Chain A
Amino acid sequence: MMKDNKKSTRQFVDDMKALRKRKPDPARIEEFNKIMEKDEKHDQEESSEPAKKKIAKDSEVEI
Chain B
Amino acid sequence: MGRVVSFSEFDSYYAEIRKRPDGVLGTIFDTNILISLTYEVKSNHEEVFDFFDECLVPERDKGFRFFTTVNTHSEFLDFNRRLLMTENLRDAIDDNSKWKIPAKAKTQIQYQSGQLKRREEQGGDPVLNDTQIKIIKSAFAAGRFSGNAGWLALCEAFLRDELDETEKNLGGFGIEYISPHEADKTGLFEKPIEWSDAKRISEKTCLSLSDAMILNALQCSRFPFIVSADFDIGYAIMASKEMKDVVMPDSVAKKYRDYHFDGHE
Contact = CB atoms under 8 A, between A and B. Distances in A.
Interface of A: 1, 3, 6-13, 15-17, 19-20, 24-26, 28-29, 31-33, 35-39, 42-43
Contact of B100 (A8, A20, A37): A37
B193 to A, nearest CB: 25
Interface stretch (B2-10, B169-177, B204-212): B169-177
Q: Which size class do B's interface residues fall under?
A: 35 or more
Chain A to chain B: the 8 pairs with minimum beta-carbon distance, closest first: A28-B157, A42-B145, A12-B173, A16-B38, A9-B53, A24-B157, A3-B61, A32-B153
Contact of A39 (B98, B144, B158): B144
B24 interface: no
Contact of B83 (A8, A9, A11, A20): A20
A6 B174 contact: yes
Given A9-B53, A20-B80, A39-B150, 7 more contacts: A12-B172, A16-B39, A17-B40, A19-B84, A28-B156, A32-B154, A35-B153
B194 interface: no
Contacts of A32: 99-100, 150, 153-154, 157
A39 B38 contact: no
Contacts of B60: 6
Residue among A10, A12, A25, A26 with the highest chain B CB neighbour number at 10 A: A12
Given A3-B61, A6-B174, A43-B145, A19 B157 contact: no
Contacts of A36: 100-102, 146, 150
B146 to A, nearest CB: 5
Given A3-B61, A9-B53, A12-B172, A19 B145 contact: no
B153 A31 contact: yes
Contacts of A28: 153, 156-157
B166 A16 contact: yes
A42 B61 CA distance: 60
A8 B98 CA distance: 36
A33 B143 CA distance: 17
Nearest to B62: A3
A8 B174 CA distance: 10
Contact of B172 (A6, A25, A35): A6
A28 B162 CA distance: 15
Contacts of B100: 32-33, 36-37
16 contacts: A3-B61, A8-B53, A12-B37, A13-B37, A13-B49, A16-B39, A16-B166, A16-B169, A19-B165, A19-B166, A28-B157, A32-B100, A32-B153, A32-B157, A39-B102, A39-B144
A11 B49 CA distance: 11
A29 B157 contact: yes
Contacts of A20: 80, 83-84, 87
Interface string B146-170: 1001100110111000100110010
Given A16-B169, A28-B157, A35 B150 contact: yes
A58 to B, nearest CB: 33
